[in-house]
Amino acid sequence: MNWRKLLHIPTSKQSLIIVDEIKLIQGRSGGIASTEQKEQTENQKSRDSRCPLCRAKNMMNDKPNIVDRITSVESKTKIRGNLFKISGLLAVETKAVNHCNNCGHEWEKFRTKTITEFAITKIILDYLSDIIRDPERNKRYSWKHEYMDVFNDCHAESIYTLQKQYRPQLRYPLSLRQLRTKYESIYDKKQSHEKTK
């Protein structure tokens, strides 16, 4: 019986492999995050540089057709009271909008979200949990399976150690036993001790 595997006590070489694989997973997640951020930036440029009403582009006849304005004013008011006491709240917010000089139409600017490696890794760990806990139901969600490439050539113990860092944010953390059903254990083969990334 392999006591190290049972108690999850890696040797120093195995610990180094786990650390290297965690860095590999985080690097891959960072690559996905930067790709997602680039797509959002492209979507923002596309949406903010063309009028949705007349379809005019940003630059026409060497002068800007779409310009920035701060004209959208939203206010919220609440007034409460009785005969002797009146209290109220007035909140006025101005927002930046795009203005088309061709037709005069105005529309809100595209809002982007900050996408980080931490957020992507958390989402991928949640997808992994969904796939392992209920594989039949998650067969049809192909986008979840696409992200599993992040864990290619990694051991269950590396994923488990990484999962510990994200545990408070995860919906359903996986046990080491559950991870070993899908990924090879670092304790199983001798050649896995020599594996380095």
Q: Report DSSP letters for 26-75, one per residue.
A: HHHHHHHHHHHHHHHHHHHHHHHTB-TTT--BSEETTEESEEEEEEEEEE
Q: Output 143 or 23, whichever has higher pLDDT.
A: 23
What pLDDT, on the 0 to 100 scale, is given for residue 83? Answer: 67
Cα angle for residues 6, 7, 12 (degrees, 5° grid)? 110
d(CA 33, CA 61) in angstroms, rounded, equals: 37
Strand, helix or coil for residue 116: coil
d(CA 143, CA 151) in angstroms, rounded, equals: 15
Mean pLDDT, all residues of the chain: 85
Q: What are phi and psi of 43, to 5 degrees?
A: -60, -40
Name the least confident of 42-46, 155-159, 187-191.
187-191
Structure-block tokens of residue 118: 């931490």
d(CA 108, CA 96) in angstroms, rounded, equals: 7
* pLDDT per residue as tens digits for the range 117-139: 999 999 999 999 999 999 999 99
Share of the chain above pLDDT 90, in %: 49
Structural domain boundaries of the chain?
A: 11-45+113-194, 52-108
* pLDDT per residue as tens digits for the range 26-35: 999 999 999 9
Most confident of 38-47, 75-84, 85-94, 187-196: 38-47
* pLDDT per residue as tens digits for the range 142-187: 989 999 999 999 999 999 999 999 988 899 999 999 999 999 999 8
d(CA 195, CA 114) in angstroms, rounded, equals: 35
**Nearest Cα to 75, choosing from 89, 58, 62, 86?**
89
**Nearest Cα to 101, choosing from 71, 68, 130?**
68
